[in-house]
Amino acid sequence: MKESYHNGVEATLGVISGKWKPQILCYLGNRPQRTCDLRQALPAISQKMLTQQLRELTADGIVARHVYGERAPFKVVYELTALGRSLGEILVQMSVWGEQRASQLPEMEIQHDHAGFTHILEG
Amino acid sequence: MKESYHNGVEATLGVISGKWKPQILCYLGNRPQRTCDLRQALPAISQKMLTQQLRELTADGIVARHVYGERAPFKVVYELTALGRSLGEILVQMSVWGEQRASQLPEMEIQHDHAGFTHILEG
DNA sequence: AACCATGGTTACCCCAAAGTGCCTACTCCC
DNA sequence: GGGAGTAGGCACTTTGGGGTAACCATGGTT
């Protein structure tokens, strides 16, 4: 984790930017998820990248990792922390802004292969 | 400009993420700025990076570039477009979230070498 | 003539993020 | 025994964002 920024925006970007983090946060926004569920939801992600991104989010206090079972095969569940949920409003606004912008640029497309962030609005 | 995203959040991140973009947007949030003013405000940025980041922001429709004078030395002024100003609220929220988080993590510091984004709130 | 200020561009290099492939360890079930 | 499912580690390569330095063009100043 980088420890010096020029303003709060960079600090926030340091947490949510990462190739897979928006998608991961989107899924975890729905409900806690097991590792295998996340892999199923994000078919293109590799095991290494999933673990890595989740580790970074955990280190940043955005998600929590819970291990169930004393011996393998473990059941590992990831869920948003309170800090992670506090990002929700920002993510929703970014989602709305991005969607609006995409709808005005014909050459830009968003693959709505899953729910997106607006579901958080309805709670 | 990348033209495919998985959700609106990624689309927004594609616009505002970049090593110098948050700082540039912060300065342009105050008022239109000349190139040399931006270089003075961001002493560590190189000419190339400043031009590059501004070009990307211009291509994304976030800032507008105005050239005054027919022959060199030109006077070049950059200012936020309406689309850029529409990002203001998101940037302010990200700034607030990041600042709050930094204040709770002792090892994380934010160099307040300039105004930040909260001034937009009063603007 | 030499130099500075202005606003760039171009060529080149570096490194961290991202990606690929293979390995571990454990259990259950056929 | 052997394969599937679960979770993840390690070594290696690739790639693209960022960085340095040099150069262009113009006109004013000393």
Contact (CB, 8 A) for A117 and B7: yes
Question: Tens digit of pLDDT for each residue in A102-116?
Answer: 999 988 989 877 666
Alpha-carbon distance A107 to A54, whole Å? 32
Question: Could you say which of A89, A93, A116 has the minimum Cβ distance to residue B7?
Answer: A116
Interatomic CA–C1' length for residue A50 and nucleotide C18, angstroms = 12
Question: Could you say which of A6, A83, A94 has the minimum Cβ distance to residue B12?
Answer: A94
Contacts of A96 in chain B (CB under 8 A): 8
**pLDDT band with cut points at 50, 70 and 90 for residue B114:** low
Question: Domains (ranges, CATH) in chain A?
Answer: 8-121 (1.10.10.10)
Question: Tens digit of pLDDT for each residue in A64-103?
Answer: 999 998 877 889 999 999 999 999 999 999 999 999 999 9
The arithmetic mean of pLDDT across residues A56-69, rounded, is 96
Phi/psi for B62 (5° steps) reads -90, -35
In order of A62, B41, B45, B120, the CA distances from B34 in angstroms are 39, 11, 15, 20
The percent of residues in chain B predicted with pLDDT above 70, rounded, is 91
Alpha-carbon distance A109 to B26, whole Å? 28
Contact (CB, 8 A) for A17 and B10: no
Q: What pLDDT is recorded for position A118?
A: 65
Alpha-carbon distance B113 to B123, whole Å? 20
Which one, of B22, B11, B45, B20, lies nearest residue B117 by Cα? B22
The arithmetic mean of pLDDT across residues A48-56, rounded, is 97
3-state helix, strand, coil in chain B (%, to 5): 55, 15, 35
The residue count of chain A comes to 123
Helix (H, G, I), strand (E, B) or coil at B87: coil
The shortest C-alpha distance from B72 to chain A (Å) reads: 33
Kindly calculate the radius of gyration of chain B based on its CA atoms and give it in whole angstroms.
15
Q: What pLDDT is recorded for position B53?
A: 98
Inter-chain residue contact A94 with B90, CB threshold 8 Å: yes
Per-residue pLDDT at B123 exceeds 50: no
Contact (CB, 8 A) for A12 and B98: yes
* Helix spans in chain B (H): 8-16, 21-30, 35-41, 47-59, 82-86, 88-104, 119-122
Contacts of B85 in chain A (CB under 8 A): none
